């Protein structure tokens, strides 16, 4: 079986008066919501999203349809709540069993992100729903230009803004030894990926989370910053399913007893 260790840090930053980020760190579900709307609407929207997800996390056993239905419920809750016009991003990591093994479901709406540390580099799993991301996909901007682009804050999808919510999600095997980073845009708009990586990989999850938020504040702290670092633990890497051949060679079928292929 796999397990999780996590660290969390959040900061209002150095410019804003209100922290409109909310988060959930309750295995098997992790999530960050970055609210928008101002005048108290943003933090309400993100809190509503997290509130709804917390109910889902308490169920303990997650499924892809279950998480998607929960996000749909959060969308309806925010859209139907006063004041009208508020919204929130939401991104997260849910642990679930599928195909007989441990998997992770990464989900995203908006421009908060989930990264995975793999092979000593940072692999961004989510794709931002933002104007600058569209420009990056169109080849107009490089990712680094997007990070500082004046319109980097304009998102194209949010909970609470579309009656029919379209959530991006990705299934990934849960591999012991993997480390994931969930963050609001207050982190990556201050720090480039090559600044994030050494901080993320140094120390335990809590140390990494704290170091990242501190660094984003040192770099300006123009926005709220929230970071969750999650480690996937297991008894033995790749042995989670007890399959002796999991890492070995595939057995040709004609060597299998009873095979007539």
Touching other proteins, residues 164-223 (CB under 8 A): 164, 166, 168-173, 175, 185-186, 189, 204-206, 209-210, 213-214, 217, 222-223
Q: Identify the residue whose tokens are 């101002």.
A: 38
Residue 117 binding other proteins, by CB under 8 A: no
Q: Identify the residue whose tokens are 């991003």.
A: 89
Residue 113 binding other proteins, by CB under 8 A: no
Of the pair 10, 183, the CB lying nearest other proteins is at 10
Among 62, 89, 176, 199, binds other proteins (CB under 8 A): 89
79 contact partners, CB below 8 Å, separation of at least 6: 160, 161, 163
Alpha-carbon span 53 to 30, nearest angstrom: 9
Residue 246 binding other proteins, by CB under 8 A: yes
163 contact partners, CB below 8 Å, separation of at least 6: 79
Contact 1, 234 (CB under 8 A): yes
Preceding omega of 23 cis (within 30 degrees of 0): no
Residue 159 binding other proteins, by CB under 8 A: no
The least distance separating other proteins from the CB of residue 203, rounded to whole angstroms, comes to 11
The least distance separating other proteins from the CB of residue 174, rounded to whole angstroms, comes to 8
Of the pair 195, 206, the CB lying nearest other proteins is at 206
């Amino acid at each position: 079986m796999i397990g999780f260790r996590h660290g969390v840090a959040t900061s209002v930053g150095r410019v804003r008066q209100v922290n409109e980020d909310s988060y959930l760190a309750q295995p098997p579900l992790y999530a960050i919501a970055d609210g928008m709307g101002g005048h108290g609407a943003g933090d309400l929207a993100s809190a509503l999203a997290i509130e709804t997800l917390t109910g889902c996390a308490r169920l303990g056993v997650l499924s892809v349809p279950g998480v998607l239905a929960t996000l749909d419920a959060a969308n309806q809750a925010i859209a139907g709540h006063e004041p009208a016009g508020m919204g929130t991003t939401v991104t997260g990591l849910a642990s679930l069993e599928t195909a007989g093994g441990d998997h992770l479901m990464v989900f995203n709406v908006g421009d908060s992100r989930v990264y995975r540390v793999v092979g000593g580099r940072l692999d961004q799993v989510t794709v931002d729903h933002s104007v600058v991301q569209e420009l990056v996909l169109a080849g107009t901007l490089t990712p680094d230009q997007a990070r500082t682009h004046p319109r980097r804050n304009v998102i194209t999808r949010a909970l609470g803004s579309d009656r029919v919510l379209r959530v991006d999600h990705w299934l990934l095997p849960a591999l012991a030894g993997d480390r994931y980073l969930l963050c609001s845009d207050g982190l990556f708009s201050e720090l480039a990926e090559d600044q994030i990586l050494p901080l993320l990989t140094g120390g335990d999850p809590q140390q990494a989370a704290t170091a990242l938020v501190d660094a984003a504040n040192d770099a300006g702290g123009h926005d709220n910053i929230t970071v969750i670092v999650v480690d996937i633990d297991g008894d033995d890497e790749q042995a989670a399913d007890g399959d002796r051949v999991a890492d070995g060679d595939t057995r040709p079928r004609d060597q299998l007893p009873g095979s007539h292929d």
